[in-house]
Amino acid sequence: MPNSRGSRETACALPSQFAGAGFIGLEFAATARIKGLEVDLLELASRVMARAVTAEVSEYFQKQHTAAGIRIHLGVQATAIEASGGKVSGVSLSDGRHIPADLVVVGVGVLPNAELAAEAGLPVASGIIVNDHLLTADPDISAIGDCALFESPRFGGSLRLESVQNATDHARCVAARLTGADKPYDGQPWFWSDQGDDKLQMVGLTTGYDRVVLRGDPSRKAFSAFCYRGDKLLGIESVNRAGDHMFGRRLLPAGGSITPEQAADQNFDLKKALG
């Protein structure tokens, strides 16, 4: 449905070899659609938010956005943004198609501004390298937030995360060190994304999961995907189920878990599992 100015928008959610892609394009697309604009969403991967969420959650959001009238093009690569008369006119795709547009939003992820650190002689890779106390190789320089590639004993490797939780918890960790309460950073990652009427909340890092257990019902627009490796709960993706998300935010930092059978059982009382 064109808006009153006959406007047409293309939200390009291009995958990035660095980070991001998915949330921002979908959030923008959902809002633009609610405002009555026509939206085409372009995505190289075979499903939306493929890097970040389970196939079950991708499928739910893909259905919701499609039902709202967003045209989702999967497995396509934008190769050029075209202009005519000094204004954007559309996007060319690698399969030869051309999608007309008068506004293009490119949500392809970000690169950290690590140049200053590199110029100062600090080790930099996909971010500014810091240890598990968020210290660089120079004991007087810390790096926190999106730009920090930090050592995580909890997850057994280096992480660079882009989230408000990560940035603010990093800040607390360094502030504690500076005020005499030094301890390793051990924050529990959590994220959110509001898309149309749906609230997606994620807790934990689910890399390497081999089993997904659903709690709730996607057809009732309220469910969570509990992600397991073996019997160990790695993380929870919740759609309009804030209680499940908050359960994960209390359980996971303490190293707790519930069995896949308990997660699937609607009658299992999550609060009791917190003790």
Q: Where on the chain is the footprint of ligand FAD (CB under 6 A)?
A: 24, 113, 116, 145-146, 162-165, 167, 191-193
Strand-by-strand arrangement of the 190-195 sheet: 190-195, 198-204, 232-239, 222-229, 211-217
CB of 233 to ligand FAD, least distance (A): 22
Comparison of 25 and 216: residue with beta carbon closer to ligand FAD: 25
| Residues making up the chain, counted from first to last | 275
Token pair listed for 75 = 């497995």
Strand order in the sheet with 8-12: 71-74, 38-43, 8-12, 103-106
Tell me the closest approach of the beta carbon of residue 158 to ligand FAD, in angstroms: 16
Sign of CA dihedral 57, 62, 63, 69: positive
Query: Which amino acid, residue 34?
Result: I
Closest to ligand FAD by CB, 162 vs 169, is 162
- CB 174 to ligand FAD: min, Å: 12
CB of 266 to ligand FAD, least distance (A): 29
CB of 127 to ligand FAD, least distance (A): 10
Give least dist CB 207 to ligand FAD, A: 18
Looking at the Cβ atoms of 24 and 263, the one nearer to ligand FAD is 24
Closer residue to ligand FAD, CB minimum distance, 47 or 170: 170
User: Which two tokens mark 98?
Assistant: 């051309």
Question: How crowded is residue 258: how many other Cβ atoms within 10 Å of its Cβ?
Answer: 21
The least CB distance from residue 236 to ligand FAD, in Å, is: 16
No. of helices (H) and no. of strands (E), the chain: 7, 15
Which CB, 62 or 201, lies closer to ligand FAD?
A: 201
Q: How many alpha carbons lie under 13 Å from residue 225 in its C-beta half-sphere?
A: 23
User: How is residue 189 annotated by DSSP?
Assistant: P
Q: Which residue is nearest to ligand FAD (CB)?
A: 145
- Rank residues 54 and 193 by Cβ distance to ligand FAD and give the closer one: 193
- Distance, in Å, from the CA atom of 70 to the CA atom of 50, rounded to the nearest integer, reads 18
Name the residue nearer to ligand FAD (CB basis): 82 or 194.
194
Q: Which helix (H) or strand (E) segment is 214 a member of?
A: strand 211-217
Name the residue among 253, 223, 217 with its Cα closest to residue 238: 223
